[in-house]
A and B are shown apart, each in its own frame.
Chain A
Amino acid sequence: MTDWLGPEEWAAVALSLKVAFWATLGALGPGIFVAYALARWSFPGKQLVNGLVHLPLILPPVATGYLLLMAFGTQGGFGSFLKELGIVFAFRWTGAALAAAVMAFPLLVRAVRLSIEAVDPKLEQAASTLGASRIWVFLTVTMPLILPGILAGAVLAFAKAMGEFGATITFVSNIPGQTRTLPSAIYSFLQVPGGETAALRLVMVSVFVAMAALLLSEFIGRYLARRVGGE
């Protein structure tokens, strides 16, 4: 595969996979927590949280990228604080992962929230009468039942992270080997004469990765549904 893709192209693909992987993984925990809170709890400011979570879905990605730059840039509020701790996001691959995670977050939360709402709270009540504390109820009843939803959300988030362009390029720019993800690379190749074939190869890689992710999630989803559906 490395022969087929040039080193620069290969670097973009590898970076995108890395970014999407960590973005998805990082978004998963907070995503499930927020989805659970939105589905099951009532608290003041719930609509505000809901709005904030969905903001990246509605806002122009470039605007989100700019907000991230202001917050997490080395001059930004969070950024300068995190820099003290040795964590830098701006113009690093970690920043690309952060941008992808933020952009993918609402998709993940939506999918997980829907699946939590589909779980009958009566089952959770039954578990609590049998002696399970809240955490145990979540781990042994809610979580296994929403696994298909988590998986669907994760695949969506991964695909979104792979394709994220606007926020990423605004926040961490387009540095080869550092922040030049697959979409940025396609864009860059299209800017130079004779770059079309390289761009096309990367497009094919995108199609392949997307299809593989979809098929995998379909397969695992069916397996899980069969387990839950009971036989």
Chain B
Amino acid sequence: MSLFVKVKQKVEGFDLDVDFEAPTGATVLFGASGSGKTTLINAVAGLSRGSVGRVAVDDWVLQDSAAGIWLPPHKRRLGYVFQEGRLFPHMSVKQNLAYGQRFAPKDGAVSELDKVVHMLGIEPLLGRRPGMLSGGEKQRVAIGRALLARPRLILADEPLAALDEARKAEIMPYFERLRDEADVPILYVSHSMGEVARLATTVVALERGRVSRVGPAAEVLGDPGFTPAGVRAVGAVLEARVVAHHEDGLSELDAGGNPLFLPRISQRIGTLMRVRIAAHDVILSREEPKGLSALNMMAGEIDAVRAGDGPGAIVSVKTNAGPVLARVTRRSADALGLVPGVKCYAVVKTVSIAPEDVGGR
């Protein structure tokens, strides 16, 4: 399933003009606040009028100004998860969940509510009212409500932004499951590189209403020139498969032939994971390092070096596991002669990889 979005809209002096196409999976709209993410997702939802262009999921056309088509939001078959949950305060959790069901086409699937409730672990909440729920619980119910509307397109506008770190870690896996299991494209708005790294199949970076970058997540995040959230947020994403859980509390993954040791994760052996390696946690060495405490070493070849305005530079190293980004000082880069084509080793401390950097595929 592909998502086609081509939208032009002028709102209050702001000028949105985007055009992209994304394959199945999660498309993350990424950008600073004011870049037009919410304007765009609301245009896709049909919540704001006056947008010109074409929005479609495969051949299901939501709007096409050339053909004079504009479906109102309630006919777009959406599942929209908002930042603030937006649960109906006068209904119980169960009534909230069932709200979208009554408008969705009824083709069997009576047990769907039970299935979704079970998946989200919200059985104990069913009889309560939203006023009595915590932030994380509200978002889980909101996800369930969106799913039960049997959407053809799932929209999420910074659904984790209002939650603390622990709650974010609790909700993120549900979006990963949706991406991997549901047969529905997801358009997800975020300003967090961490969320992009864990969730995105496709990254669409927005800057002042324009698409500044679009492409598969690994490619976009592995580009040393892509620093929309500042150099501190730069980090490549590697795919790795769990191969062993060791007794000393480490999990061993295989990333393109390179062993990768992480603090113990709960996933079963054989699971394909995504691991985000922050660029500032990577050390580069021209020779094979010996006598280092760091456990992870990947040999590769320098692909690109991008010097920033400050004292730092971002070096992209092509390894068997994919591109790894390292943020080093320009001084080191000059001293070591780090230029494209040079062979080197990327070194990553195991303990610098936090649990929130590791997600399902």
Contacts and interface: CB of A to CB of B under 8 A. Distances in A.
Contact of A145 (B90, B100, B149): B90
Interface of A is mostly: helix
Contacts, number: 78
A128 B131 contact: no
B84 A130 contact: no
A230 B132 contact: yes
A122 B82 contact: yes
A127 B142 CA distance: 12
Contact of B80 (A129, A144, A228): A129
Interface residues of B, number: 31
B89 A230 contact: yes
A127 to B, nearest CB: 7
B90 to A, nearest CB: 5
B103 A125 contact: no
B99 A230 contact: no
B47 A129 contact: yes
B132 A132 contact: no
A131 B90 contact: no
Given A131-B103, A132-B103, A145 B89 contact: yes
B74 A132 contact: yes
Interface string B100-129: 101110000000000000000000000011
B55 to A, nearest CB: 14
Interface string A215-231: 00000000000011111
A132 B82 CA distance: 17
A57 to B, nearest CB: 31
Given A125-B73, A230-B130, A230-B132, A130 B89 contact: no
B77 interface: yes
Interface in A94-139: 120, 122-123, 125-133, 136-137
A136 B128 CA distance: 23
A133 B73 CA distance: 9
Given A230-B132, A231-B129, A231-B131, A127 B90 contact: no
Interface size class of A (residues with CB under 8 A): 20 to 34
* 7 smallest beta-carbon distances between A and B, as pairs: A230-B131, A131-B103, A230-B129, A130-B100, A126-B86, A129-B80, A128-B73
Nearest to B99: A130
B47 to A, nearest CB: 5
B72 interface: yes
Contacts of A137: 74
A144 B90 CA distance: 7
A129 B131 contact: no
A144 B88 CA distance: 10
Contacts of A131: 74-75, 77, 100, 102-104, 149
A75 interface: no
28 contacts: A122-B86, A123-B89, A125-B47, A128-B72, A128-B73, A129-B74, A129-B80, A130-B78, A130-B79, A130-B100, A130-B103, A130-B145, A130-B146, A131-B74, A131-B77, A131-B102, A131-B103, A132-B99, A132-B103, A136-B74, A136-B103, A145-B89, A227-B90, A228-B89, A229-B89, A229-B129, A230-B89, A231-B132
Interface of A: 120, 122-123, 125-133, 136-137, 140-141, 144-145, 227-231
A144 B80 CA distance: 22
Contacts of B241: none
B45 interface: yes
Given A144-B90, A145-B89, A127 B72 contact: no
Nearest to B145: A130
Nearest to B77: A131
A229 B102 CA distance: 24
Contacts of A228: 89-90
Nearest to B103: A131
Interface in B195-238: none
B179 interface: no
A130 B90 contact: no
A68 to B, nearest CB: 39
Contact of B86 (A123, A136, A230): A123
B76 interface: yes
A127 B86 CA distance: 9
Contacts of B99: 127, 130, 132, 140
A123 B88 contact: yes
A166 B165 CA distance: 65
A228 to B, nearest CB: 5
A191 B172 CA distance: 79
Contact of A129 (B73, B84, B104, B132): B73
Contacts of B155: 129
A189 B128 CA distance: 57
A213 to B, nearest CB: 25
Most B-side CB within 10 Å, residue of A125, A136, A137, A144: A125
Contacts of A230: 89-90, 128-132
Contact of A141 (B45, B88, B128, B130): B88
Contacts of A122: 82, 84, 86
A231 B89 CA distance: 10
B116 to A, nearest CB: 14
B104 A126 contact: no
A129 B88 contact: no
A149 to B, nearest CB: 13
Contacts of B130: 230
